[in-house]
Chain A
Amino acid sequence: MSLNKDFLARVGIAVPAAVLFLTFAFYSELNFLVVCGFFVALALREYFALVRRGGYRPMPVLAAGIAGVFFFVAYTAPRGDISSLHIALILCVAAMVLLKGADMALQPGRGISPAVFASMFGALYIGGSISCAININHIQRDIFPGMSLGQAPLVLLPFVGAWASDTGAYLSGRIVGRERLTRISPNKTREGLMGAVAAGFTATVIFGTSLGVHRHVLLLLGLILPFAALAGDLFESAIKRRFDAKDSGAFFKNHGGVLDRFDSIFFCAPITYFLLYYFYIYR
């Protein structure tokens, strides 16, 4: 497919989907929670399908339980103490996943089973990341009380940064891309990375300025988000490569599954959340 047709097909799917999704999601905070939960369930389903391809038997109930706790803590975070408990929980599970991974690597065949590790990792990677988006809503509610959901959604900041980077990377890679970036994902080019940084920075700074976010936060986010989006993309590619899969699923037909479309968000949402938390709450 030529650049124009391919690009128009992507835009043709993305714009109506975005209008529907945002209208439903921003009608209320509960709706947003439901939409996020729906996407996490789909993403976990695709992730487990990938893990099963590797011959492992993951534990969906364990993963769904951990993800559910993330969501519950994020959604019920009290006013004024937005997310200390949520962040502590995420760091705690991340530490456990790291320890279990190290244990598994050091004692193959003994100790923790790969199924438990894969389940906990899936819950952290997918559920933990998206629960950060829910708490960005709380930061908006508490720090920018003049804004209301639907008018100036702060939670869109990581989405704008990630998807603008993807768009910039795709366009510049297709038009002037020559030098391969990495072996993990052969289609990515260094020129694409340059375009991603330029596009991500531009879009993040303009969008964040329109929301009234402090310029220091925006400059930092504008520089970090494109690399986070790329890292998220490469990370998901590495998982797919590990299990010999081209796409994670077929939810978006020819455009892959939920994991494929939202891979960069899994890294960008926590980074945006932690930075906003540090600049607006912790200090």
Chain B
Amino acid sequence: MQQYLQDMIDAAPASVARAGRFAAAGAIGVCAGLFFMAAAKLVLFAVGVALTHVS
């Protein structure tokens, strides 16, 4: 049991770092999604203005 715990403790930093990387990737992804949506809305607004002037 003690060996098992020791193994877990030894392994912890790597797995914690891995979990942290994936959590960070998820957070970056959500921000990227929001950023993308903001950019898409701006582009659609510009297109709407352009189409209004064209037609």
Contacts and interface: CB of A to CB of B under 8 A. Distances in A.
Interface of A: 11, 15, 18-19, 22-23, 26-27, 150-151, 153, 156, 160, 163-164, 167-169, 171-173, 175-179, 190-192, 194-203, 206-207
A22 B51 CA distance: 10
Given A15-B43, A22-B43, A178-B21, A207 B29 contact: no
Nearest to B53: A23
A194 B48 contact: no
A151 B35 CA distance: 21
Given A27-B51, A151-B48, A197 B43 contact: no
Contacts of A196: 29
Given A18-B43, A23-B47, A176 B28 contact: yes
Contacts of A200: 29, 33
A175 B33 contact: no
B15 to A, nearest CB: 13
B25 interface: yes
B39 interface: yes
6 contacts: A168-B28, A169-B29, A172-B24, A179-B18, A192-B25, A202-B29
B32 A164 contact: yes
Contacts of B55: 27
A164 B46 contact: no
Contacts, number: 114
B50 A19 contact: yes
Contacts of B46: 19
Given A27-B54, A163-B36, A164-B37, A194 B43 contact: no
Interface of B: 18, 21-22, 24-30, 32-37, 39-40, 43-44, 46-48, 50-51, 54-55
A207 B43 contact: no
Which of B33, B46, B54 has the most A CB atoms < 10 Å from its CB? Answer: B33
A19 B47 contact: yes
B33 A203 contact: yes
Contacts of A26: 47, 51
Say whether chain A's binding surface is mostly helix, strand, loop, or mixed.
helix
B33 A176 contact: no
A152 to B, nearest CB: 9
Given A176-B21, A179-B18, A198-B33, 16 more contacts: A22-B47, A23-B54, A150-B48, A160-B40, A164-B32, A164-B33, A164-B37, A169-B29, A171-B32, A172-B32, A177-B25, A191-B22, A198-B32, A202-B34, A203-B37, A206-B34
B23 to A, nearest CB: 9
A99 to B, nearest CB: 40
Nearest to A11: B39
B50 A167 contact: no
B22 A194 contact: yes
B40 A195 contact: no
B33 A201 contact: yes
B40 A191 contact: no
